[in-house]
A and B are shown apart, each in its own frame.
Chain A
């Protein structure tokens, strides 16, 4: 595995596309919140486990994970110059993000 997962142009494009999706998704969430009839747990549960919303949330999580990876990777590439330390920090970050992603998808899939 390259220590610079995704390399140059691809992460730059993914970062921008994911940012647009995240922004649109947050706006949709705000709209749903403002137009909801009630704001209790049952209403939220009903909203998030509609197939469309589960899919949108799933895509949001993927976009967020990629966006977080690319942003943090950029910080590490800028400031951490020791190659072993860089591999360690990037590996740790990748582990945390993949773990968070798997955990979130487990929650989403459990309800289907």
Chain B
């Protein structure tokens, strides 16, 4: 099976280039991450990429696969057209090969205060929710922060320092919808202005690429709906 992989080591290379590899003996059901690990073991140990759990839970191995962002560990090789073009996630600086600098992504994630804000004294046991209140968080809490969505979003490419991006906005929605959170008003107020939320133009690349099947566009729409009902 043929692969064309983006290579760039800023300590050695003046500019990025594409390197071709060919792997024999591809087993049925093999995932892309397994192929990359075999390329690294058998053909070129200098190839660099992030990976950890290997089963779509940690979100480390996000990359651009044949033009579409995804997690290598849950992408079956037999679903890919050859040669398989692999590039780093677009829109963020490359540290080396398929490894990107995710500082901007995490900065936007931190900006939405991705934790419960509770001003009342904490109860002795736990903060309880009804099943209905808990159900509202489905589709919002499952994000693994792989950055596939935000780096597929043109609005995030143009303004990564000002627009929060789909991943951070999904998290914002997750805490806005949480019945235990007491910063509802403040969270909505923080998202006002032309950039943080309203650079989203409903392009929906985020929905197309999310490896967990989540829908950040719907979550963003829900935030806008909350803002409108709050202002009425």
Interface centre among B194, B224, B231 (most CB of A within 10 A): B194
Contact B155 A78, beta carbon cutoff 8 Å: yes
Q: Is B199 an interface residue (CB 8 A)?
A: yes
A101 nearest CB across to chain B (Å): 22
Contact A7 B199, beta carbon cutoff 8 Å: no
Contact B194 A7, beta carbon cutoff 8 Å: yes
Identify which of residues 28-42 in chain A touch chain B, using a CB-to-CB cut-off of 8 Å: none
Residue of B nearest to A13 (CB): B228
Contact B192 A7, beta carbon cutoff 8 Å: yes
Q: Is A43 an interface residue (CB 8 A)?
A: no
Contact B198 A8, beta carbon cutoff 8 Å: yes
Contact B158 A4, beta carbon cutoff 8 Å: no
Identify which of residues 192-232 in chain B touch chain A, using a CB-to-CB cut-off of 8 Å: 192-199, 201, 224, 227-228, 231
Q: Is A79 an interface residue (CB 8 A)?
A: yes
Contact A4 B194, beta carbon cutoff 8 Å: yes
Residue of A nearest to B196 (CB): A8
Q: Is A23 an interface residue (CB 8 A)?
A: no
Interface residues in A, total, Cβ within 8 A: 13
Q: Is B46 an interface residue (CB 8 A)?
A: no
A74 nearest CB across to chain B (Å): 7
Contacts of A79 in B (CB 8 A): 158
Q: Is A26 an interface residue (CB 8 A)?
A: no
Check A9/B199 contact, CB under 8 A, given A78-B155, A78-B159. Answer: no
B20 nearest CB across to chain A (Å): 35
Contact A9 B231, beta carbon cutoff 8 Å: yes
Contact A7 B201, beta carbon cutoff 8 Å: no
Residue of A nearest to B191 (CB): A8
A86 to B79, CA, bound (A): 45
Contacts of A13 in B (CB 8 A): 228
Scan A1-37; emit 1 where CB is below 8 A from any B CB, else 0: 0001001110111000000000000000000000000
Partner of A12, one of B158, B195, B198: B198
Residue of B nearest to A6 (CB): B194
Contact A9 B227, beta carbon cutoff 8 Å: yes
Residue of A nearest to B224 (CB): A12
Q: Is A77 an interface residue (CB 8 A)?
A: yes
Scan B106-126; emit 1 where CB is below 8 A from any A CB, else 0: 000000000000000000000
Contact A78 B199, beta carbon cutoff 8 Å: yes
Partner of A78, one of B158, B193, B227: B158
B interface, CB within 8 angstroms of A: 155, 158-159, 191-199, 201, 224, 227-228, 231
In addition to A4-B193, A77-B194, A78-B159, 18 A-B residue pairs with Cβ atoms within 8 Å of each other are A4-B194, A7-B193, A7-B194, A8-B191, A8-B193, A8-B194, A8-B195, A8-B198, A9-B198, A9-B224, A9-B228, A9-B231, A11-B194, A12-B198, A77-B199, A78-B199, A79-B158, A81-B159
